[in-house]
């Protein structure tokens, strides 16, 4: 009698033996995979925490540097009272896409207008009239309008248009560097004490395209850097009728260069009490004038109306006069 094992039986036996092995191997691999995943997640979490700690440490160091730099800047900040002679150079800057002819009407008004407010002389005239009230030390501001335009490569939009305004610090720094490069290239003979107002003819906005979103089209909001002695004015209208308002903007930004501070409210339409035309009035409301660093006449603490240079309701109040060195304690 012969004993033999049929191939089918061998195959069946192999299946019976190997299936459990495969199942066990599968469980083992799954277990190992889960362990590796947990280990990876744990190490990943540790790396994140280390990275977070390193990042926070870096931020802390940067904040210390920033605080020290801010303190150093405050300690070395230039004091420039409007009590001596200064040259205020007004330069015309335009994007390459804008022809000179586009702003000729405005430029002509600034140069030749017989209007007391539209001519560029309105700037020094206003200051002379206000200085008399404070018997301020002798000063002289030579306003020099340079009529040859300078082409600047097209700039990108700087800052947010939200209220309160938030400015892109990095973008503004780049903007200032671009203007400064133009200044050093075109006017290397300017003296260090000379002050500069850059008029940038901004053609990014066109009247009539949803005026409620007006500021979204401007490249930047007018501002001043008193430490550098530079003001950057966004000229968003090129008509001759804009000349008076432009002189007002130049006045406002230029006074920053001598220490004057803004006195309007950023979060709503109004002035702080420091921006009232007559801070000693009793009762304090209604006001009939306003400080030029605000530009809004207060009918009450909550009700303000816009006024302009040509309305003859803009003044330099005692607070601003003190800031620019015209009034002592």
The arithmetic mean of pLDDT across residues 307-322, rounded, is: 97
What number does CATH give the domain 85-256? 3.40.390
Both structure tokens of 272: 């702080």
pLDDT tens track for 89-110: 999 999 999 999 999 999 999 9
> Greater confidence, 125 or 171?
125
**Rounded to whole angstroms, what are the CA distances from 161 to 173, 216, 218, 245?**
18, 6, 9, 21
Radius of gyration of the chain (CA): 34
For the chain, residues classed under CATH 3.40.390 are 85-256
For 128-171, the pLDDT digits (tens) are 999 999 986 789 999 999 999 999 987 877 765 444 445 677 78
218 vs 238: CA distance, rounded Å:
14
User: Which pLDDT belongs to residue 200?
Assistant: 96
Q: What pairs with residue 201 in β-bridges?
A: 235
Distance between CA atoms of residues 302 and 298, nearest Å: 8
Mean pLDDT calculated for residue range 20-32: 66
State residue 294's pLDDT score.
97
Q: What are phi and psi of 230, to 5 degrees?
A: -130, 140
Task: Indicate the average pLDDT of the chain.
Answer: 82
């Amino acid at each position: 009698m012969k004993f033999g094992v049929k191939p089918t039986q061998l195959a069946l036996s192999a299946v019976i033996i190997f299936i459990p092995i495969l199942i066990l191997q599968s469980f083992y691999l799954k277990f190992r995979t889960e362990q590796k995943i947990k280990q990876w997640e744990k190490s990943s979490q540790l790396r994140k925490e280390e990275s977070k700690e390193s990042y926070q440490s870096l931020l802390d160091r940067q904040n210390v540097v920033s605080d020290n730099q801010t303190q150093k800047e405050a300690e070395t900040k230039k004091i420039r009272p409007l009590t001596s002679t200064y040259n205020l150079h007004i330069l015309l800057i335009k994007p390459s896409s804008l022809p000179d002819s586009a702003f000729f009407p405005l430029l002509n008004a600034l140069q030749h207008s017989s209007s007391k407010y539209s001519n560029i002389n309105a700037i020094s005239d206003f200051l002379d009239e206000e200085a008399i009230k404070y018997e301020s030390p002798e000063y002289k501001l030579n306003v020099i309008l340079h009529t040859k335009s300078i082409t600047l490569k097209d700039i990108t939009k700087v800052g947010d248009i939200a209220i309160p305004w938030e400015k892109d610090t990095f973008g503004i720094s780049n903007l200032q560097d671009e203007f400064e490069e133009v200044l050093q290239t075109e006017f290397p003979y300017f003296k260090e004490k000379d002050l500069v107002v850059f008029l940038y003819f901004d053609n990014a906005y066109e009247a009539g395209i949803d005026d409620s979103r007006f500021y979204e089209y401007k490249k930047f909001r007018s501002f001043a850097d008193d430490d550098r002695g530079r003001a950057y004015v966004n000229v968003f209208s090129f008509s001759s009728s804009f000349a008076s308002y432009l002189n007002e903007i130049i006045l406002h930004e230029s006074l920053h260069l001598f220490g004057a501070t803004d006195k309007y409210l950023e979060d709503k339409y109004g002035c702080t009490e420091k921006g009232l035309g007559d801070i000693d009035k009793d009762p304090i409301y209604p006001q009939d004038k306003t400080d030029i660093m605000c530009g809004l006449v207060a009918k009450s603490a909550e009700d303000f109306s816009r006024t302009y240079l040509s309305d003859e309701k803009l003044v330099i109040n005692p607070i601003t006069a003190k800031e620019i060195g015209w009034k002592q304690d």
